[in-house]
């Protein structure tokens, strides 16, 4: 297939798996089409076998010949030669929904974790994740938090994620579960991060070092609080903070942005350009 940059397909959950399967079809196309070797990680789900059957059927209907299940129910499984071998050969790796804390408890810091990073960064494989599998992709992830109607100090808690993305925080089922207040809370508490809210049946597709596109039926909402003025440090838990000069971008399905070249850096607003550079940055700690 030639050299690949690597892609992340970050899905807000509840993607169409029955009809047009637009997002899963795009994932399959990026992985190499019907001949691609695709593996499905169901570790986030407590109903692993049922979840596997859903995606086995969906990818099968898309014509994928080689689709297999990476069964991880313990950290021993995540460190096994079988698991590492499957991840090391895969063109596309797909992480299902469930509970992102469960997913990290099973694979965080294991050989499977390292194999995921190697697949993406060294081989240019496609890494996809939906719902919990999407939240887990970032270096810091939302572990819990109610959908508060407005920002509320202490309403969310964070945990370490897989780190396929850095400086980004992902929330899913975004518009459908009214999670803007939750994402604003997370950004108020962590203003160095860009908050990214992804609607259901919608994916943010990132090509490493190149650009992004939004696929599906909804939108991606980006919250930038780096230049924000806030009184969060001076209020009590469960109080509502002031958040002044917060930047917000809404990218509907069909939006596409590539890193400007040839001196055209002013083609995008500075805030959007900075977000784009962060999500496509091939050097995670830069």
Catalytic annotation, pick one of 15, 200, 207, 213: 200
User: What kind of fold does domain 7-280 have according to CATH?
Assistant: Rossmann fold (3.40.50)
192-202 core/surface letters (b: 16 or more CB in 10 A; e: else)? ebbbbbbbbbb
As a three-state string, the secondary structure of 187-223 is: HHHCCCCEEEEECCCEEEEEECCCEEEEEECCEEEEE
173 classed as catalytic: yes
pLDDT of residue 282: 54
Closest CA to 156 of 191, 184, 193, 136: 184
pLDDT of residue 285: 43
Catalytic annotation, pick one of 7, 138, 152, 173: 173
pLDDT of residue 261: 73
pLDDT of residue 281: 84
- Residue 73: DSSP 8-state: S
Digit-coded pLDDT (tens) for 102-137:
999 999 999 999 999 999 999 999 999 999 999 999
217 classed as catalytic: no
Q: What is d(CA 154, CA 151) in angstroms, rounded to the nearest whole number? A: 9
pLDDT of residue 260: 78
Closest CA to 206 of 14, 30, 39: 30
CB 240, CB 148: distance < 8 Å: no
pLDDT of residue 124: 97
Digit-coded pLDDT (tens) for 199-219:
999 999 999 999 999 999 999
Catalytic annotation, pick one of 131, 135, 138, 230: 131
pLDDT of residue 286: 38
**262: helix, coil or strand?**
coil
Give me the residue label for tokens 């909804």. Answer: 218
200 classed as catalytic: yes
Sites in the chain below the pLDDT cut of 50 = 1, 265, 284-286
pLDDT of residue 232: 96
**pTM, whole model, 2 decimals?**
0.96
pLDDT of residue 2: 57
CB 103, CB 95: distance < 8 Å: yes
């Amino acid at each position: 297939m030639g050299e690949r940059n690597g892609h992340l397909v970050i899905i807000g959950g509840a993607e169409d798996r029955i009809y047009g399967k637009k997002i899963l079809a795009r994932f399959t196309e990026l992985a190499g089409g019907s001949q691609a070797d695709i593996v499905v990680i169901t570790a986030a789900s407590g109903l692993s076998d049922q979840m596997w059957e859903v995606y086995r059927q969906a990818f099968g209907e898309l014509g994928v010949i080689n689709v297999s299940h990476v069964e991880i129910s313990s950290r021993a499984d995540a460190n096994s030669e079988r698991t590492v071998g499957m991840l090391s050969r895969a063109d596309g790796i797909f992480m299902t929904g469930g509970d992102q804390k469960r997913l990290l408890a099973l694979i965080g810091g294991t050989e499977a974790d390292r194999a995921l990073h190697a697949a993406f960064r060294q081989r240019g494989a496609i890494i996809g994740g939906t719902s919990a599998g999407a939240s887990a992709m970032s270096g810091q992830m939302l572990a819990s938090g109610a959908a508060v109607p407005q920002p509320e100090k202490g309403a969310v808690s964070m945990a370490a994620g897989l780190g396929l993305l850095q400086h980004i925080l992902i929330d899913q089922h975004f518009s459908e579960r009214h999670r803007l207040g939750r994402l604003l809370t997370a950004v108020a508490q962590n203003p160095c991060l860009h908050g990214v809210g992804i609607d259901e049946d919608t994916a943010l597709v990132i090509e490493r070092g190149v650009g992004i596109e939004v696929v599906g039926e909804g939108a991606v909402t980006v919250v930038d609080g780096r230049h924000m003025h806030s009184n969060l440090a001076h209020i009590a838990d469960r109080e509502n903070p002031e958040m002044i000069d917060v930047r917000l971008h809404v990218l509907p399905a069909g939006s596409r942005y590539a890193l400007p070249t040839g001196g055209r850096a002013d083609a995008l607003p500075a805030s959007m350009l900075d977000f784009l550079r962060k999500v496509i940055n091939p050097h995670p700690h830069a």
